[in-house]
Amino acid sequence: MAERKPIESWLTDMDGVLIHEGTPIPGAKEFLRKLRESGKPFLVLTNNSIYTPRDLSARLAGMGLEVPEECIWTSALATAKFLKSQRPNGTAYVIGEAGLTTALYQAGYVLTDNNPDYVVLGETRTYSFEALTKAIRLINQGARFICTNPDETGPSTEGVLPATGSVAALITKATGVEPYFVGKPNPLMMREALNTAGAHSETAVMIGDRMDTDIVAGMEAGMETVLVLTGLTSAADVERFPYRPSRVVKSIADLVELV
């Protein structure tokens, strides 16, 4: 591969890289400490739109991981920033939790079911038939369809849960309208994260555990990419893809000395 410039900024996925099922992955605490001490820009990214950065910072702190809220970038924040750039001071009918509604409020959006500019679908533990029916009717009436992320399922202690991508498919089936997905693997989320951190793709790295979201999004955004094997992708899985990460490591612990 072509020689890259030294790493000046770090972006990392959260689930499967720093934590697994609510437990820190060995090396995550040391890695985050080195990042904070280095003074280099860094962001923890997640496609989960349920929580605000403050919520996530508190949840991580409860696991012993110190990540300031300004260093957390969610698909909800990326969606709000995208919509603000597309249609400032717009209106939206939202299916989602506080992470998404708060981000849209802060972006200057009015949340309404009265002729909204957009229907915005995010993640929630309580998808209701009534809300989905309203979303379908609003889209049929001309509202544009936006989704925070394409993840089809999410984890829970009882097993997988339907997530944004699955519910979006239901709405598409009923309306014939495909949504625009803002979160990973859309490189838009990466570029907005880089802009937020004041970073440049030529000197930034993306760390992830999924080839089909983290790695491809980082690659398409022009960043160096690192795959860790503590999440959903195994070493054997890498060969199935037509693209490769810049490097593959066993876990985040292998990157501590590179910060």
Q: Which of 13, 117, 151, 214 is catalytic?
A: 13
13 is a catalytic site residue: yes
Measure CA of the first residue to CA of the last residue in the chain; give whole Å: 21
Catalytically annotated residues = 13, 15
